[in-house]
Structure 1
Amino acid sequence: MSYFDSTKFDYKDINIDDCEELIKRDKEAYKFSLSKWFEDELNAITDRKWEIDNIGFIEETGGFIKLIKEAELSYSFGAYYSAIALIGVACEDLCKHFANLSNEEHLSDESQFIRINKLKELNAIDQATADDFHLIRKHRNDILHFNDGFKEKTTSDLKSLALKSINTSKSVYKSLFEKHNQQSNPQEISNKIMEDFSRQIVYDPYYGNTLNQEEFAMKLRNIVAKETGIDIAIADANQKIEQAGIFRIDEIDLRLDPKEITLFNYDIGESFYVDLSECDIEKMGNLELKEGQNIVAKIFSITNHQGMTAAWKISSFECIA
């Protein structure tokens, strides 16, 4: 197999005044090729995503989470070598993280092989977990050394190996940390997830995190259904859902895009994250509204294609005298 790499045309040796325009034209052509590839591969990408196991909500995280998420994306896009390598590094960091939480910080400087065996000797992990860690470690070493036996694996073999590595690592992560979850109330879990997502969008818009609000809504619906048995798809698509009453202003965040206010509805005991328009912000300033105050308000949301409330907006609001 030869390496064929000539995506960009080299204009530097050509005396052309509109060089930048030509580069822009070439980029547009590449965007078209990329979008065509994505369109052709979309079903396969989605099918591979559906092969990856869900493990629900786990509070304890570390740097390894980004690697697990990126490995999942790599697998979804058919980049199996990358997925295997990333999940191997993720599991090494996961193992270090667990060792530190188990007050075995001295194991951080050991090799993964020794670290796993020591944790097993200390009964910090069971034999099944140790075996899973070793399996992923072996796959990672195969990638790093890239010996002839590994090079000869078929695409189907690599796909199977990558999927097993990802699902095994997520199973290990869940078994080690799910019992440490501090949140057990479904409403608290939902609030925690929404807070984390909002923080992620503003401060850590990392490729590999939740893709966008659409995917976030899908994940939230599934988590709530799992924890409560209730499907929060409450209506058909494009239906207007309203809430009215007395709300407490829990947070005003003008750093987000769109700007947002968190309102707690006393009647139903739930919080709503409401997008603010410039007119809303101006009126809030005129009323000198602050966090902790109560207001009378009416808010609404148009259900999305999943039948779930999406962005909430304010119809009206006034101070309580």
Structure 2
Amino acid sequence: MYLDFIKLDYNNKSKEERIQLINRDKNHLGKIIQSRITDDIENIVDRWYELEDIGVVEEEGMFLKLLKEAEELYSFGYFIGAISLIGVASEELCKIIIQKNGLGTNEITQFNRINLISTVGKISKETEGYLHKIRKIRNHYIHSNSEGIYIRTNEIRKKSFTIITLFKSVLKDTLQVTDINYSDVLDKLISNQEFNFTDFKYRYRNLLHQEKSIDLQLEVTNKPRVITSIFSIYDIDIQEEEFKELTLIDIENGLPVTVDLTIPKVKEIKKLKLEKNNGIIATLISTISSIGQTEEWMLLEIHEVYRGELNLSLV
């Protein structure tokens, strides 16, 4: 059964009242969506996490947008939609290969496109096989005459996972996902409005670990991170209305840390008459985020002050 009734007809109301009623209904629809996601959040995350990670594909193309949408559909449990989009994505990729290499018209079947780019050596035999498997899975579900195949959810999920994995393997072979320019990737991650800051931090953490062996994670714990060390004061910024910060350099390891200051701590710094390049022994505290990294650092206590100058530079 399909049940609609998402909207009510408010045409008999005044314009102002109609807007209020529609906005109230939209707010409730938002709660329904939030509830659906909340109720299934563990399965959504599990499905997303099990997808293969191939790193960075720097080439632009509609096939990549379709891949992202297919992965989201798979994660949220819309397996037929994911299969359909990967089928379209593989067709778009083949069309681009034909167009870039001047291999003739794209107005042919996907079967013939795959064979054409394989025959002229633009893809390997293994990739040719992957593309034909994608084509067959897509046709099996999109052009089926049997309704029975759509009720076998576990089987559809497996095929959906398989078709996404196959397409990513095609990308790895066809686009040569190697030689990453980290500066370009970072710039694109920052400027790409598709990623919020939480998503950016997670992906950048993984990129640094996998490609540069830089591990920014701490051990799994619910306890805050507390450190006591000797610091040089690199900068004191307590004049701003909204943000009051202290930039310190840890003398032991030379690493900088920005410390957010509460109003009482600002008063303490003023009372101590701290200046740039002074040395301090201080205790800092930070909570650990859900991805195992420190969040904002806060100043717990200043134990000792050295009035001389420690001229250290940021690393």
Aligned position for 1:194:
186
> Structure 1 residue 231 and structure 2 residue 215: aligned?
yes
* Cα contact 2:71–2:164 (8 A) shared by 1: yes
> Structure 1 residue 116 and structure 2 residue 114: aligned?
yes
Q: Give me the identity figure in percent.
A: 31
Give distance in 1, aligned partners of 2:174 and 2:11. 55
Structure 1: 4+ residue segments shifted above 4 A: 13-17, 149-153, 234-245, 309-312
Structure 1's 243 and 198: CA in aligned 2 closer, same or farther, altered over 3 A? farther
Question: Which sections of structure 1, spanning at least 5 residues, go unmatched?
Answer: 246-273, 275-301, 313-321
Give distance in 1, aligned partners of 2:191 and 2:136. 36
- Counting only pairs closer than 5 Å after superposition, residues 143-292 of structure 1 correspond to structure 2 as 143-148=141-146, 151-178=149-176, 181-183=178-180, 188-189=181-182, 191-201=183-193, 205=194, 210=195, 212-233=196-217
Aligned position for 1:75:
74
Counterpart residue identity of residue 81, structure 1: I
Give distance in 2, aligned partners of 1:197 and 1:143. 35
Alpha-carbon offset, residue 124 of structure 1: 2.1
Give distance in 1, aligned partners of 2:30 and 2:136. 38
Alpha-carbon offset, residue 86 of structure 1: 0.6
The structure showing larger relative contact order (alpha-carbon pairs under 8 Å, at least 6 residues apart) is 1
Give the greater-gyration-radius structure (CA).
Answer: 2
Alpha-carbon offset, residue 175 of structure 1: 1.6
* Cα contact 2:97–2:117 (8 A) shared by 1: no
Q: TM-score, normalising length from structure 2?
A: 0.67
Structure 1's 26 and 142: CA in aligned 2 closer, same or farther, altered over 3 A? same
Structure 1's 32 and 114: CA in aligned 2 closer, same or farther, altered over 3 A? same
Alpha-carbon offset, residue 129 of structure 1: 0.9
Aligned position for 1:21:
20
The partner residue of 1:133 within 122, 131, 134 is 131
Structure 1's 150 and 96: CA in aligned 2 closer, same or farther, altered over 3 A? farther
Question: Which sections of structure 2, spanning at least 5 residues, go unmatched?
Answer: 235-257, 259-285, 298-315
Q: Aligned Cα RMSD in Å?
A: 3.5
Counterpart residue identity of residue 220, structure 1: Y
Aligned position for 1:258:
none
Alpha-carbon offset, residue 219 of structure 1: 1.6
Structure 1's 17 and 305: CA in aligned 2 closer, same or farther, altered over 3 A? closer
Alpha-carbon offset, residue 8 of structure 1: 1.6
Structure 1's 53 and 244: CA in aligned 2 closer, same or farther, altered over 3 A? farther
Structure 1's 192 and 232: CA in aligned 2 closer, same or farther, altered over 3 A? farther
Alpha-carbon offset, residue 151 of structure 1: 4.6
Counterpart residue identity of residue 140, structure 2: D
Structure 1's 82 and 311: CA in aligned 2 closer, same or farther, altered over 3 A? farther
Alpha-carbon offset, residue 150 of structure 1: 6.7
Structure 1's 114 and 17: CA in aligned 2 closer, same or farther, altered over 3 A? closer
Alpha-carbon offset, residue 308 of structure 1: 3.6
* 1:109 counterpart SS class: coil
Q: TM-score, normalising length from structure 1?
A: 0.66
CA deviation string 1:170-226 (max 9, x = no partner): 1110121125x453xxxx42x22221123321xxx4xxxx4x221222122222211
> Structure 1 residue 306 and structure 2 residue 282: aligned?
no
* 2:43 counterpart SS class: helix
Counterpart residue identity of residue 123, structure 1: G
Choose 136-145 or 126-135, whichever is displaced more. Answer: 136-145
CA deviation string 1:29-54 (max 9, x = no partner): 22222211111010110011112111
Aligned position for 1:292:
none
